Amino acid sequence: MATRPRVAVIPTARATFATDAARERTHAARELLAELGADVVGPTELVLTPQDAESAAAHLDPAPDVVINVCASFSDAGPAQRLYGELDRPVLLWAFREPGPVGDRLWLNSLCAANLFGHALVRAGGRARLLYGDPDEQGVREALAGVLAGSPPDAPELPSAQRERADRNQARQALATLRGRRIGLIGDAPPGFTPCEYDQELVRRLFGIEVVQLTIDEALTVARAVTEAERDEELRTAIADRPTLRRLDPAHVELAAAVTSALRAWTAREALAGLAVRCWPEFPTELGVCPCSSLSRLADAGIPTACERDVYGAITMLLLEALGSGTTYLVDTVDLDTEQNLVRAWHCGSAATSLAADPRRATQSVHCNRKIGVVGDFPLKTGPVMLARLAEQPGAPGGLRLLIASGESVPEPNRFQGNTAAIRLDADAETFMHGLVAGGFPHHTVLAWTDVRPRLRTAADLLGIPVVEW
């Protein structure tokens, strides 16, 4: 490496997040690298669009000594796919801490972006490493000094310990209940959401699950066709179950009731066991409503629902529930607190109200970024929890692996607008987070409050799926 290493800094973000805070931290990141002796190249403005990513590609030719993707806020992994597909070295994914006050929205959602980028990179045969913290932290300074000296962070070794298994007949019976079941899919995977892509033949072969699909345009048409009587019936029961709906814009609440009614009818007509729904951008931008509360209503009725059309997420939910987990929730890992050994699991607000820390206070609100209804805004319940996720096996087309972790959801105010759980992990939280990113695991996991790990491990054995368990 040259005496003054050439470092490409690519700051990615999305306009729906707090871009002023993202720019401020990106500027501080570049200043720190220059102070540490780097020759910093790369766009000085946030990479917000595909066109911005195209322009940023010029900074990678000739190849720099170090590539740092500053996840200045959340964004999809499109820039990673465009910029780093041919890179012959690890990409350092730098994620910032959340600056907002307790109860506010996720200002940046930077850590989740790094997780998503890591999945896209590893899936494509690349390598990713995580740096977590703000530019003014001593630990960040020391880590970057090491990178500039030619010592990038090591990828943590994925755990391989074999743990308790359950009776094979029990697990076999649970798997048998999945065969012949049907999942409803609405729309395509959002662009750049690589964990939400799936192999339909693999799903059929391993689990015997069939897929029923609607295009997003078909789904919106069905929602618009709901009759006033159908909508009003759903509206009455929704307000009775969730009285805080009365505080919201009636137009949004009525639209949400129409979406719920349409999804209920489709689920019943097609005998669907679960749903995976492309929840944005079309629902809010074309229909004028966020479907989170509708997905929550179905979840409270016993239908597992996965947002962002995450098929493997939905199948993980079905598998866990077949093994006895009860109601589950699809989450992002958005925050890491090493002092408390905590990660915070969150999503926008589609959790079943039965999963609330206090179901009587399962407040309904507006979406954290879109500022329209209807979503849940309440902390998730406490107690022992487990996390699980079926995911593609890197380097093994047509194969899956299974992520498992465990811990305790501890009491605290709802940290981020939406649904949040603060999970004190049984494993080391920092190692877990670095493993998610460097190991190329999806940004979505499934959170459950009943421990079915022995049965889940056995089910994975029966399916020939390797287990990675923290």
Same domain, 143 and 172: no
Separation of alpha carbons 291 and 350, rounded Å: 8
Domain count, the chain: 2
Q: Look up the pTM and report it.
A: 0.97
SS3 content of the chain, % helix, strand, coil (to 5): 40, 25, 40
Q: What is the CATH number of the domain that holds 76?
A: 3.40.50.10940
Separation of alpha carbons 394 and 466, rounded Å: 12
In 10 A of CB 469, how many CB atoms?
A: 21
Phi, psi of 72 (to 5 degrees): -65, -30
Is there a domain that residue 163 lies in? no
Same domain, 210 and 322: yes
pLDDT at 1: 45
User: What DSSP string runs through 202-259?
Assistant: HHHHHH--EEEEE-HHHHHHHHHT--HHHHHHHHHHHHHH-GGGGGS-HHHHHHHHHH
Average pLDDT over residues 36-61: 97
Same domain, 73 and 144: yes
Is there a domain that residue 160 lies in? no
Same domain, 137 and 244: no
Is there a domain that residue 85 lies in? yes
Q: Look at phi and psi of residue 284 and say left if phi exceeds 0, alpha if psi is from -120 to 50, else beta.
A: alpha
Q: How confident is the model at residue 354 (pLDDT cuts 50, 70, 90)?
A: very high
Domain end marker among 118, 148, 178: 148
pLDDT at 398: 87
Is there a domain that residue 330 lies in? yes
Same domain, 242 and 335: yes
pLDDT digits (tens, 9 = 90+) for 205-242: 999 999 999 999 999 999 999 999 999 999 999 999 99
Same domain, 181 and 117: no
Is there a domain that residue 156 lies in? no
Q: What is the CATH number of the domain that holds 210?
A: 3.20.14
Q: Which of 121, 130, 119, 41 is nearest to 82 (CA)?
A: 121
Strands 342-347, 328-337: pairing is antiparallel
Q: Look at phi and psi of residue 390 and say left if phi exceeds 0, alpha if psi is from -120 to 50, else beta.
A: beta
Is there a domain that residue 244 lies in? yes
pLDDT at 396: 87
Separation of alpha carbons 192 and 174, rounded Å: 33
pLDDT digits (tens, 9 = 90+) for 314-339: 999 999 999 999 999 999 999 999 99
pLDDT digits (tens, 9 = 90+) for 53-75: 999 999 999 999 999 999 999 99
pLDDT digits (tens, 9 = 90+) for 375-419: 999 999 999 999 999 999 998 888 999 999 999 999 999 999 999
Same domain, 247 and 361: yes
Same domain, 312 and 425: yes
Give yes or no for residue 348 having a pLDDT over 70.
yes
pLDDT at 166: 98
Q: Which domain holds residue 388?
A: 168-469
Is there a domain that residue 361 lies in? yes
Give yes or no for residue 468 having a pLDDT over 90.
yes
pLDDT digits (tens, 9 = 90+) for 131-190: 999 999 999 999 999 999 999 888 899 999 999 999 999 999 999 999 999 999 999 999
Is there a domain that residue 157 lies in? no
